[in-house]
Amino acid sequence: MAKNTQTPTLKILPLGGLHEIGKNTCVFEYDDEILLLDAGLAFPTDDMHGVNVVLPDMTYLRENREKIKGMVVTHGHEDHIGGIAYHLKQFDIPIIYGPRLAMALLRDKLEEAGMLERTNLQTVSPREMVRLGKSFVVEFIRNTHSIADSYCLAIHTPLGVVMHSGDFKIDHTPIDGEFFDLQKVAEYGEKGVLCLLSDSTNAEVPGITPSEASVIPNLDRVFSQAEGRLMVTTFASSVHRVNIILSLAQKHQRKVAVVGRSMLNVIAHARKLGYIKCPDNLFVPLKAARNLPDQQQLILTTGSQGEPLAAMTRISKGEHPQIKIRQGDTVVFSANPIPGNTIAVVNTIDRLMMQGANVIYGKHQGIHVSGHASQEEHKMLLALTRPKFFVPVHGEHRMLVKHSQMAQAQGIPSENIVIVNNGDVIELTGDRIRVAGQVPSGIELVDQAGIVHESTMAERQQMAEDGLVTVAAALSKTGTLLAYPEVHCRGVVMTIQPKLLEELIVRTIENFLTERWS
């Protein structure tokens, strides 16, 4: 990474979020200055035994820590802010700019991790511009997404403006009345955008993602039909959805008991900041809710993805200390399962039904919409920004390819588009984009004790598949057994009696010792 002394060059290094949905982390580097854009986490897949959190490989930032001028945050989802507390343990980020809700959620995380003193959190407003170092000025542009207070970014660099879509859909009837600032986006398009980096999550989905408002009549119908208790689960971070559910609770004269730490946390912040408006007396503690008639209760919980420890999962297993399903309960899943969670979700639904709940779920109900743009919205953003160069981000490989095909159909030449992987170094000059190398990439797995390395993970996997036999044998210096060896089996399938297996192992050791020392 020697300093480029010829053509001025902007480097963009996505360390996470490419070829995956999760842990979005992007580095912008110009003239020995680094600007960090988002730093998220991902959740472990089933084969990452005992792992709580997945982070990108941060070697590059550790090694270039002195260049870091600061960070900008697009919105408050875990896949965009969840990594920051971990990274601050390893290097400093002098200042972090972001929207109010994201900064409020981040403050909690940093406080919990004891990292709040390590940086300076600054809230920004729509169309606010902030300077970072000599090279970067960033304008925050309101967009629409499933969480309130979400932004596109216009990053002014010495080479020109790089726009980053953030996570977005184009919702013309947003729940909070905060419209996508399309005028500002168009203004940048008119003045000239050097490069666009854009969310590819739903690039494979034809048409337009329905407005968040479209779920209101459908949830209203479900609420009307519920005769007993009502339990609703959704993503805690889907602030607009939570808002809708609370408004409908009020309309249908149900008191709301909120269950699950992240749900309580998001609602508290969103109310404090005015993203959710409802009277205090809409809420009741869970214990008080139980004294109300069934048709005046609404329990709002986490667990829409069948997460093992979430409230709805424990309720479905009959393991929740306060909430037992009864005949007549209506349970509403106002969320679609993320592909890796499908089995966990349908199992949860089945368990709830078996206990007598009427479970409302699935795409046909119209009670969930995505927070990400579909193809027609992508075309619109490309048309508004008219970028010279294009980098599809925030998506798996198929989605990036589809997004790039759309951009080509709208006139961006294929040589002006790069499909990159985590760790690729994108080099941008005024008239060329290319991948100019690789920095260490991959994942860091975090369990309760710290970072789990790949070799450790492989050992865990092997023990899980085969089990483990330990043999303790005390030997004299001449190689004779001093005592009968101890054999222990864990997770081992035995087709013969354990006692016989043990004897067999002992005899083998004895033979080995005899031969070795004889």
**Chain residues that interact with Zn ion, rule: CB under 5 A:** 77, 79, 167
Which lies closer to a copy of itself via its Cβ, residue 160 or residue 337?
337
Longest dimension (CA), the chain: 89
Compute CA distances 425 → 41, 89, 434, whole Å: 21, 25, 8
Q: Kind of pairing, strands 297-301 and 230-233?
A: parallel
480 backbone dihedrals φ, ψ, rounded to 5°: -100, 155
Is residue 113 part of the contact set for a copy of itself (CB under 8 A)? no
Smallest distance from a copy of itself to CB 54, Å: 14
The contact pattern for a copy of itself, residues 169-208, with x = CB under 8 A and - = no contact, is -----------------------------------x-x--
Q: Which value, to the nearest 10 degrees, does the dihedral of the CA atoms of residues 162, 174, 272, 25 take?
A: -30
**Binder to a copy of itself among 186, 396, 429, 506 (CB under 8 A)?**
396
Structure tokens that stand for 321 in this block: 């200390």
Out of 177, 279, 293, 339, which residue is the one contacting a copy of itself (CB under 8 A)? 339
| Nearest to 260, CA basis, from 301, 318, 305 | 301
Q: Which does 167 bind (CB under 5 to 8 A by kind): Zn ion, a copy of itself, none?
A: Zn ion
Nearest C-alpha neighbor of 457 from the set 48, 33, 45: 48
* Distance (Å, whole) CA 284 – CA 324: 18
- The item of Zn ion, a copy of itself, none sharing an interface with residue 77, based on CB under 5 to 8 Å by kind, is Zn ion
Residue located via tokens 């300076």: 120
Phi and psi of 428, rounded to 5°? -120, 125
Shorter beta-carbon distance to a copy of itself: residue 293 or 339:
339
Q: Give the Cα separation of 411 and 404 in Å (integer).
A: 11
Closer of 379 and 397 to a copy of itself (Cβ): 397
Chain centroid to Cα 91, Å, comes to 22
Q: Of the ranges 121-129, 210-218, 334-342, 497-505, which one interacts with a copy of itself (CB under 8 A)?
A: 334-342
Half-sphere exposure of 193 (CA within 13 A, CB side): 30
Q: How far is the CB of 230 from a copy of itself (least distance, A)?
A: 19
Indicate the residue among 190 and 350 with the shorter CB distance to a copy of itself: 350
Residue whose CB is less far from a copy of itself, 178 or 396? 396
Question: Which one of 327, 482, 499, 516 is in contact with a copy of itself (CB under 8 A)?
Answer: 482
What whole-number distance in Å separates Cα of residue 2 and Cα of residue 11? 12
Closer to a copy of itself by Cβ: residue 55 or 147: 55
Binding site for a copy of itself (CB under 8 A): 19, 45-47, 49-50, 204, 206, 339-340, 342-343, 346, 349-350, 353-354, 359, 362, 364, 396-398, 401, 447, 449-452, 456-457, 459-461, 463-468, 470, 472-474, 482-483, 490-495
